[in-house]
Amino acid sequence: MTEELNIHTHGKVGHLSLKRPKALHALTQGMCEAMADALLAWRDDDAIEAVILDHAEGRGFCAGGDVQLVRNSALEDGGTAGRAFFHAEYRLNHLMFTYTKPIIAFMDGVTMGGGVGISQPCGLRVATENTMFAMPEGSIGLFPDVGAGWYLPRLPGATGKFLALTAARLSGAECLWAGLATHYLEAEHLAAAKARIVAGEAPAAVLDDMSAAPPEARLAGNAPKIDAIFGHDTLEGILAALEADDSEWAAKELKAVQAKCPATSKVALRQFAENAQCADFAANMVMEYRIASRMMLRHDFIEGVRAVLVDKDGKPQWNPATPEGVTDAMLDEIFAPLADSEEWTPFAQLASNA
């Protein structure tokens, strides 16, 4: 149990409620471990049939992970604490992905980074008019992790590449269109939906019954342009395609891509390609942990967090500063296997259920 997380049971329903409002419920290692402990206990408890995941108050759902801790670890202990955080977070992600009981994630508010990692594994994902979804790791020199290497390539067309390279913020309606959410409910009806689930009604049936017609998804209208431009295999190719398009939309997205860390963008594209060779979600998490273990120690991550969260000047100095400076040799080093004793592993009881 942690002061940053409420853990309850209501009859046959387990309930995890994030409770770190001043940080928009960003995940700490303690929160990840407490959530995993509860889920493991409920996994083998015949009295629990479903799990609700939400946030207790404020503008959540969950704004990410504790990147300031990771940055401090990179500066102070060679990344030991940072790797421990990622290991715990990725174990939670994998546990949720392989969970056999329904988990219903209520993505009512900011859902970014680590919040994506705990919502996307859930079989039922509820968006609302308050949902703001993004993978903003390119702004801090990290990379789209927490399973993004698995989820994003499976979105329609080139949507996943677009999200990874621009850090675009999606509305609840856009999440529903892209498949990031399974249902769209008006926020004022969430309490009633949860009450019906707690009362014993089938979660999917409740959400189907209470779903509302979402507003128009702007992303859907831009999908042809996204597929044409972000369908290129290389960062240089995507940038060239944006530069060749004289539309206002392309100019806006070009600026967004150019502002992101070039190494992050190239890592994301390599990550999407490598995922095709991953036999299962566990293999993807092994790959992402290798990347995280190295990206967290690079100049770009330390500098990116400084610019966005510490000094807040919004002026990170990336190194390399250009896509051309990020070489295949650099990427090979970032993706290389770790020593056997350092590789990521799932919970022992899940090792055969990847």
Q: What is the CATH number of the domain that holds 86?
A: 3.90.226.10
Residue 240 belongs to some domain of the structure: no
Q: List the catalytic residue out of 64, 65, 79, 304.
A: 65
The overall average pLDDT reported for the chain is 96
Q: Which residues contact 90 (CB under 8 A, 6 or more apart)?
A: 145, 146, 147, 285, 288, 289, 344
Instruction: Of 130, 135, 143, 96, give the one whose Cα is nearest residue 116.
Output: 135
Q: List the catalytic residue out of 145, 174, 274, 288.
A: 145
Compute the distance between CA of residue 116 and CA of residue 294 in angstroms, rounded to an integer.
21
- CA angle at 75 for the pair 73 and 79, rounded to the nearest 5°: 40
Number of domains in the chain: 1
Across the range 34-41, mean pLDDT stands at 98
pLDDT for res 1 = 47
pLDDT for res 354 = 62
pLDDT for res 141 = 98
Instruction: Of 202, 138, 157, 212, give the one whose Cα is nearest residue 181.
Output: 212
Residue 233 belongs to some domain of the structure: no
Beta strand 110-112 with 132-134 is parallel
Across the range 230-244, mean pLDDT stands at 98
65-107, pLDDT tens digit by residue? 999 999 999 999 999 999 999 999 999 999 999 999 999 999 9
Our answer to whether residue 137 is catalytic in this structure is yes
Residue 237 belongs to some domain of the structure: no
pLDDT-derived band at 2 (thresholds 50, 70, 90) equals confident
pLDDT-derived band at 58 (thresholds 50, 70, 90) equals confident
Residue 80 belongs to some domain of the structure: yes
Residue 227 belongs to some domain of the structure: no
Q: List the catalytic residue out of 14, 109, 114, 141.
A: 114
Residue numbers of the domain that contains 115: 5-216+256-350
pLDDT for res 321 = 97
pLDDT-derived band at 118 (thresholds 50, 70, 90) equals very high
Q: Per the structure block, which two tokens stand in for 321? A: 């500063």
Residue 306 belongs to some domain of the structure: yes
Residue with token string 């508010």: 109
Residue 226 belongs to some domain of the structure: no
Q: Could you tell me the CA-to-CA distances from 239 to 29, 143, 252, 314, 327 in Å, in that order?
A: 37, 18, 12, 22, 17
Compute the distance between CA of residue 1 and CA of residue 266 in angstroms, rounded to an integer.
39
pLDDT at 259 over 60: yes
Compute the distance between CA of residue 41 and CA of residue 23 in angstroms, rounded to an integer.
27
40-51, pLDDT tens digit by residue? 999 999 999 999
Residue 228 belongs to some domain of the structure: no
Compute the distance between CA of residue 276 and CA of residue 100 in angstroms, rounded to an integer.
24
Q: Could you tell me the CA-to-CA distances from 287 to 92, 120, 273, 279 in Å, in that order?
A: 16, 18, 12, 12
Our answer to whether residue 65 is catalytic in this structure is yes
Q: List the catalytic residue out of 33, 54, 137, 174.
A: 137
